[in-house]
């Protein structure tokens, strides 16, 4: 007789033994004062500085965004009331999709409830519906992309991370009717960029579609915040650009953009879109305002990169090992799951600094890290405090410092 409770308990104990058991920090962001937040712990409350938020530009507390959301709630209520097909298409959704077309200079756009769902539903549908489809997937693609390809039942060929030669070798020998190259513009755990132009060249050469995940780039890169593809002048060469509204744009939701027929194809066949209640209209209103603001304002981006560069400078000065791949993401390498968790706990308990440990399976074993993200709302004083705290923690835990 199967002892289900025993299976659950032993699996959780294994996670804890390896140092990979996740504990959520109970935080309450302080609007108007973020990255400060209240941390609820053991019947006590303390104010902490958050250094691992994906609210990269602080748009979740932007007055324009908040006011547009409040106005929308008062105007149309809270929820959408249904799927997009059954009364759930509110005019705010239509306006937002139109704005996303303008942002990425595409014919059509489609909203999803999250970036995860956008990846999963789109790739699953492409793999199921395209004849004899094969995916060519970067080995470091996000879990949502992997899940979408797996759900499709189509064949997946993994190419070495950002390795153009390996990708071409695998495209060259493949004789399938339909090919889709699946990759990201900024990889969130290492903060490195993909060779978008070269991948587009190969897609044209071997008649493949390109699917580009820009979730960690939209709002931040490009003259209007449309992402790395805009920054490099290759947006028109990408067949599907997938993005999120939950990071630099400060709210929640995901989307895809592309040519009219392709997007209509996904709209008509993707069960993850068809059978899901649509985003609350107030979310669409907030995202619309955020995108429009960042199209014309670059002060948030400039301030964020100013703080990012200050942070990198202080980490180097204190010999703290981190990956510097030129992006806004700063992974501080620990290399051990238990030490990574201990470092995070000491920073929170002793220094009131919150940085979540990133362990397996999010990153490979032996590459555990503290993934630090700066925002325009962090100050130089906060940067110095973080660098000094990390220096002390590295000494206390005898973590190897940079050579």
> Which residues form the catalytic set?
247
Count Cβ atoms below 10 Å from residue 329 Cβ, excluding itself.
Answer: 24
Q: Give the Cα-Cα-Cα angle 78, 80, 86 (nearest 5 degrees).
A: 160
DSSP per residue over 250-270, as a string?
Answer: -S--EEEEE-HHHHHHHHHH-
- Label residues 147-158 b or e (16+ Cβ within 10 Å = b): ebbebbebebeb
Q: How far apart are CA 247 and CA 376, in angstroms?
A: 14
Which CB contacts under 8 angstroms, 24+ apart, belong to 137-142?
137/182, 137/183, 138/162, 138/182, 138/183, 138/184, 138/194, 140/184, 140/187, 140/189, 140/190, 141/182, 141/183, 141/184, 141/213, 142/184, 142/188, 142/213, 142/215
Cβ-contact 119, 213 below 8 angstroms = yes
Q: Which residue has the tokens 């000094």?
A: 388
| Nearest CA-CA partner of 76 in 63, 93, 61 | 93
Query: What CA–CA distance (Å, rounded) separates 91 from 21?
Result: 43
Q: Are 208 and 202 in contact (CB under 8 A)?
A: yes
Strand-pair category, 192-193 with 186-187: antiparallel
């Amino acid at each position: 007789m199967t002892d289900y409770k025993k299976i659950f308990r032993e699996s959780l104990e294994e996670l804890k033994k390896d140092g990979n058991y996740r504990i959520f920090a109970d935080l309450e962001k302080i609007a108007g004062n973020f990255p400060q937040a209240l941390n609820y712990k053991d019947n006590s409350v303390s104010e902490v500085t958050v250094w691992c938020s994906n609210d990269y530009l602080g748009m979740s507390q932007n007055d324009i965004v908040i006011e547009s959301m409040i106005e929308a709630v008062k105007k149309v209520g809270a929820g959408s009331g249904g799927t997009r097909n059954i009364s759930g298409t509110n005019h705010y959704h239509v306006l937002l999709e139109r704005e996303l077309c303008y942002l990425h200079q595409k014919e059509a756009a489609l909203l999803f409830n999250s970036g995860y769902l956008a990846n999963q539903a789109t790739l699953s549908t492409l793999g199921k519906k395209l004849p004899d489809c094969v995916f060519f997937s970067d080995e470091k693609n996000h879990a949502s992309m992997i899940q979408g390809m797996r759900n499709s039942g189509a064949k997946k060929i993994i190419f070495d991370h950002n390795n153009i030669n390996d990708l071409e070798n695998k495209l060259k020998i493949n004789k399938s009717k339909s090919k889709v190259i699946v990759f990201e513009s900024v990889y969130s755990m290492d903060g490195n960029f993909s060779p978008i132009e070269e991948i587009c060249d190969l897609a044209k050469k071997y008649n493949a579609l390109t699917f580009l995940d820009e979730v960690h780039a939209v709002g931040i890169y490009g003259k209007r915040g449309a992402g790395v593809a805009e920054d490099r002048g290759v947006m028109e060469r990408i067949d599907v650009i997938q993005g999120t509204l939950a990071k630099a744009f400060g709210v929640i939701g995901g989307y895809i953009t592309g040519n009219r027929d392709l997007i209509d194809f996904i709209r008509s066949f993707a069960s993850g879109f068809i059978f899901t209640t649509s985003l609350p209209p107030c979310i669409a209103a907030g995202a619309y305002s955020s995108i429009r603001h960042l199209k014309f304002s670059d002060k948030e981006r400039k301030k964020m990169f100013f703080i990012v560069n200050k942070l990198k400078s202080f980490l180097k000065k204190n010999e703290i090992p981190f990956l510097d791949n030129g992006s806004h993401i700063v992974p501080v390498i620990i290399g051990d799951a238990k030490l990574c968790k201990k470092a995070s706990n000491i920073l929170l308990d002793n220094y009131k600094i919150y940085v979540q440990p990133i362990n397996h399976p999010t990153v490979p074993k032996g590459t555990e890290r503290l993934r630090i993200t700066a925002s325009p709302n962090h100050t130089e004083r906060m940067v110095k405090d973080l660098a000094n705290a990390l220096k002390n923690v590295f000494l206390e835990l005898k973590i190897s410092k940079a050579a």
